[in-house]
Structure 1
């Protein structure tokens, strides 16, 4: 088999990224073929597994950011979850699916927002990223190429950064498996383009994030203990 030639992978690891209400949970359910992801928003990463088209698939959904927020506007805990998401399917995801709704316009602020949040993972993440357009049914008779051209430079520059890798998904139609099989094929092609390798975040950076998270959790636990102690003290005084 030649270099860069896609091969069938029996194990696939996928991370879903995107702004809030982009369709990440629905996409995860479409990939796995059943309702595994709760459509309610979560502040933490969610991991699910399933068997699809002779593959064992692990899907991680990272929490979303506000659509018009730059990465500087997003809370620290959200940014940490985005970084930690790629460590939840060791040794790392074969692809990061960047979820974007095709039925809403994509402006400069959206491009800055998306790029800033993905840049948290380092420059190498872009060679493993596929833009996944959701709400594909809204295109009607318009091709995705016509749509991206009509959206202008902001969307096109994002696609360029992803090596022009994209796929369209209609989350309302799960009866046919074609769109998911084609997506899995594109993920395998992306792996082949990366010489068979998955994405792996800088270990030193990941360790720093984990230590920072641990310290914050310990501080939060101490605060809860102090609050409980004060409450218990007041109860004793009242009695």
Structure 2
């Protein structure tokens, strides 16, 4: 029997949202350069792969595809698609808690144009800065947030979670993300053609009615 193909995750989001740090958190290794900077740190697509919780995971870090200052935009989008073959399995749309920019308000039309109309069927929203929630839950934060953000989350079928990328010991957040992804894949139209492992219980952190 052939070993199962890696779970391929493509990180998408604006400059400074924490894509690279999120990739490092998922893989539990510092594969991607991540630090505070006034200019974009990630300027081209990069891929890294590790075994996490007994599953081979491939993460593709990307620059801000929708930044007008990205000189080789089409080239990098093409490279992302090539690296993700034959996937990707999931697009991880990374956003900062407490920030919903004009660019993020327009992200869906951009994603659909570049990755196809069905992109939202394979998208999970991940908020960075989970520590900012303090005593509040993520659903509580979202219920009091911008209506456009709530609509974006609904469009992605309320698949979302939050990471604290500054806490290396916070392992349950990666487990939760992988369970959300597994549930998404098991319920996808193509699930019957793939073996995504055993069923998981409902793990959505977001619940928006």
TM-score by length of 2: 0.79
Report the equivalent of 1:60: 60
Which protein shows a greater Rg? 1
Contact 1:63 1:82 in 2 (8 A): no
1:177 and 2:171 aligned: yes
CA-to-aligned-CA distance 1:29-82 (integer Å, 9 cap, x gap) = 00011111111612210100111000111100111157xx6xxx4656224423
Counterpart Cα distance in 2 of 1:187 and 1:93: 12
- 2:84 is paired with a residue whose SS is coil
The match for 1:87 among 82, 88, 104 is: 82
1:125 and 2:119 aligned: yes
1:48 and 2:48 aligned: yes
1:21 and 2:16 aligned: yes
Question: How far 1:190 moved relative to its partner?
Answer: 1.2
Question: How far 1:85 moved relative to its partner?
Answer: 1.2
Contact 1:107 1:154 in 2 (8 A): no
Question: How far 1:121 moved relative to its partner?
Answer: 0.9
Matched ranges for 1:63-142 at <5 A: 63-65=63-65, 73=68, 75=70, 77-104=72-99, 106-107=100-101, 109-112=103-106, 114-119=107-112, 120-142=114-136
Contact 2:14 2:104 in 1 (8 A): no
Contact 2:125 2:160 in 1 (8 A): yes
Which structure carries more helix by proportion? 1
- 2:9 is paired with a residue whose SS is strand
Report the equivalent of 1:34: 29
Counterpart Cα distance in 1 of 2:179 and 2:96: 21
**Deviation >6 Å, runs of 4+:** none
CA-to-aligned-CA distance 1:169-228 (integer Å, 9 cap, x gap) = 111112132110111111111111213279xxxxxxxxxxxxxxxxxxxxxxxxxxxxxx
The match for 2:155 among 132, 154, 161 is: 161
| Ranges in structure 2 where 5+ consecutive residues have no aligned partner | 36-40, 195-209
| Structure 1 residues 79 and 160: CA distance shift in structure 2, 3 A | farther
Counterpart Cα distance in 2 of 1:159 and 1:23: 19
Contact 2:164 2:170 in 1 (8 A): no
- 1:58 is paired with a residue whose SS is strand
Across the aligned residues of Structure 1 and Structure 2, the Cα RMSD in angstroms comes to 2.2
Query: Could you tell which deviates more after superposition, 9-18 or 87-96?
Result: 9-18
